[in-house]
């Protein structure tokens, strides 16, 4: 059984939640939509592969 050593302070939890809300509120809706679309594509097909150098011996 895992015991939690730290107790969650409600004041700190509310402050953290407010910081998260403030962060997401500052992001432009179009930018957030682009990020979501990119994440959706990555979930379906995986990350894009970067072009690398080819070595000829």
Q: Is the pLDDT score of 55 beyond 80? A: no
Q: What is the pTM of this model?
A: 0.40
pLDDT in tens, 25-37: 777 777 777 877 7
Which residues in 19-44 are b (16+ Cβ under 10 Å) and which e? eeeeeeeeeeeeeeeeeeeeeeeeee
> Rounded mean pLDDT of 32-54?
70
Name the average pLDDT for the chain. Answer: 76
Q: Is the pLDDT score of 40 beyond 80? A: no
Report pLDDT for 15: 92
Tell me whether residue 52 is exposed, middle or buried, using C-beta atoms within 10 angstroms of its C-beta: 0 to 12, 13 to 18, 19 or more.
exposed
Backbone phi, then psi, for 54, in 5-degree steps? -105, 130
Report pLDDT for 47: 61
């Amino acid at each position: 059984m895992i015991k939690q050593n730290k107790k969650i302070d409600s004041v700190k939890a509310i402050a953290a939640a407010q910081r998260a809300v403030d962060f997401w509120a500052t992001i432009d809706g179009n930018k957030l939509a682009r990020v979501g679309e990119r994440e959706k594509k990555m979930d379906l097909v995986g990350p894009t592969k970067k072009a690398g150098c080819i070595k000829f011996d």
